[in-house]
Amino acid sequence: MMTTSGTDGRESRARAFPEGFLWGTATSAYQVEGGAQSDGRGPSVWDTFSHTPGKVRGGDTGDIACDFYHRSEDDLDRLKALGLAAFRFSVSWPRLQAEGRGAVNQRGLDFYRSLVDGLLARAIEPTITLYHWDLPQALEDEGGWAKRDTAERFAEYAEIVAEAIGDVGGMWITVNEPQVVAHEGYRIGMHAPGHRDDALAAAATHHLLLAHGLALPRLRAAMPAARVGITFDMHPVRALGSGAEEAARITEAEQNRIFFDPVVHGRYPAAARGNLLPPSSLVRDGDLELVGAPIDFLGVNYYSPTFVKLVGACGQEAGETSIAGMPGVVAVKPEHLPRTSQGWLVDPEGLYDLLVTVAGEIPPGCPIYVTENGCAAEDYVTPEGEVNDVERIDYLHGHLGAAWRAIQDGVPLAGYFYWSLFDNFEWAWGYQKRFGLVFVDFPTQRRIPKRSATFYSGVARANALPYAPNGATPGRPERVTGELVDA
């Protein structure tokens, strides 16, 4: 660690990350590509869902999104200019198999071939997600993730991608955030395909995991040099006040462990409630061995923690959200924590806690990557043409500080991907929430790197987090600059 004496007499420190720490940004196909009907792409559940009135804010769809499908060369130059070593993107299954099975659409494959070649030519490591929520609609019509067959089809598709572009090596993520797919897509219907059915969600839970388990050996056989893992959205769950510990334990099992435990420990968590767990009739002999087979890395997406408490004597109060199936327990957002413009809690400490917990359970030698972390902010372009997103810089500073501390405390964290490179189609939020390092003016497709892009690029180039004066973060964004005090 480098230290210097600050001008005010206090010691200042730039916090160096380990050599080789991987700095990247993340995107996903439906959120950025557009080209919804280009070159033989078939419809996905998100095309159907976003075109259904009332499902996405403002009636937005991913038809055009950031038009990345047609602008990727220029965008890769932008990425290169940021000096980041890795780029996470997802492959669109319906672009390769319009109906989720059968013959491969060569034009779709050509796009990803040129994308990975373009990355390698710029010395950027591809990090490839195989499933980031855009299930071919034809498979949903046959039952989607509630059907075992979908997991089999996924494994075939995964092998096709590996055989076509697996020579690039790098990191491969089978499934992104299966918990969100099962919960939002099948249990509460806020995401595609929009079901509200516990039994479908429990079945989807098992089949998403099985998809990962069936794909693993095929991916390994097709590309021995690549590293294969999976990405979970994880939330530290905290009990507020006495008596809420049991509710926190159950919530933690249902939000995190229902996917984490089968992959890491080869079993479903006993603490999750029965109606969320897949029924034994769906779990065949050998399934959990497949799901729990060793992975080469674990991807963790962190945005915010969950707080639960018991309903007080006066009943449920404003700002408290009931939890389905848990009478007397509510989720709350404590006043002392800042929130993003989306209302999500900002709590870097949550990232630290999560990383330490995960590191204590994964097998020795399995590195962790933060495959997503980021925030939506009320970004706008000034008359001078700049986007001064100081909130995002503050968010990054706080979370990277937490990641750095976790590494000092022994967590095998090997990389960090900011979500997202661009403002993009934010699922049910449409284009109203901007997460990008690069501002996108959607009507013109003009890109403007935000101030946070300069900050993050500086961190990545220096492989160190700049010193910020005491109290500068969180909450005092104006004092955090893109300049390194020492490096």
Binding site for ligand BG6 (CB under 6 A): 28, 31, 176-177, 180, 233, 301, 372, 419, 426-427, 429, 433
Residue type, 257: R
Choice between 193 and 458, CB closer to ligand BG6: 193
What count of other Cβ atoms lies within 10 Å of the Cβ of residue 165? 21
What count of other Cβ atoms lies within 10 Å of the Cβ of residue 194? 17
| In the complex, minimum distance from the CB of residue 283 to ligand BG6, in angstroms, rounded to a whole number | 26
What 3-state class would DSSP assign to 381? coil
Which residues does the annotation mark as catalytic? Answer: 177, 372
Determine the distance from the C-alpha atom of residue 408 to the mean position of all C-alpha atoms in its chain, rounded to a whole number. 24
| In the complex, minimum distance from the CB of residue 30 to ligand BG6, in angstroms, rounded to a whole number | 9
| In the complex, minimum distance from the CB of residue 31 to ligand BG6, in angstroms, rounded to a whole number | 6
Determine the distance from the C-alpha atom of residue 380 to the mean position of all C-alpha atoms in its chain, rounded to a whole number. 24
Choice between 177 and 379, CB closer to ligand BG6: 177
Choice between 254 and 372, CB closer to ligand BG6: 372
Residue type, 448: I
Choice between 159 and 372, CB closer to ligand BG6: 372
| In the complex, minimum distance from the CB of residue 301 to ligand BG6, in angstroms, rounded to a whole number | 6
| In the complex, minimum distance from the CB of residue 87 to ligand BG6, in angstroms, rounded to a whole number | 15
Choice between 352 and 431, CB closer to ligand BG6: 431
Choice between 252 and 426, CB closer to ligand BG6: 426
| In the complex, minimum distance from the CB of residue 134 to ligand BG6, in angstroms, rounded to a whole number | 11
Choice between 105 and 304, CB closer to ligand BG6: 304
Whole-angstrom distance, CA of residue 375 vs CA of residue 368: 21
b/e map of 69-88 (b: 16 or more CB within 10 Å)? bebbeebbebbbebebebbb
| In the complex, minimum distance from the CB of residue 176 to ligand BG6, in angstroms, rounded to a whole number | 5
Which residues make Cβ contacts (< 8 Å) with residue 242, sequence separation at least 6?
none
Sign of the torsion angle spanned by Cα atoms 245, 247, 249, 251: negative
| In the complex, minimum distance from the CB of residue 415 to ligand BG6, in angstroms, rounded to a whole number | 16
What count of other Cβ atoms lies within 10 Å of the Cβ of residue 115? 23
Asked if the bond preceding 420 is cis, omega within 30° of 0, the reply is yes
What 3-state class would DSSP assign to 113? helix
Angle at 32 between CA 57 and CA 423, to 5 degrees: 65
Kindly tell me the burial class for residue 323, based on how many C-beta atoms sit within 10 Å of its own C-beta (0-12, 13-18, 19 or more).
Answer: middle
Using CB atoms, what's the residue nearest to ligand BG6? 426
**Residues comprising the chain, all counted:** 487
Asked if the bond preceding 44 is cis, omega within 30° of 0, the reply is no
Choice between 60 and 177, CB closer to ligand BG6: 177
The owner of tokens 């109203």 is 432
Whole-angstrom distance, CA of residue 148 vs CA of residue 292: 17
DSSP alpha helix (H) spans, 35-192:
45-50, 68-82, 93-96, 106-121, 137-141, 148-165, 178-180
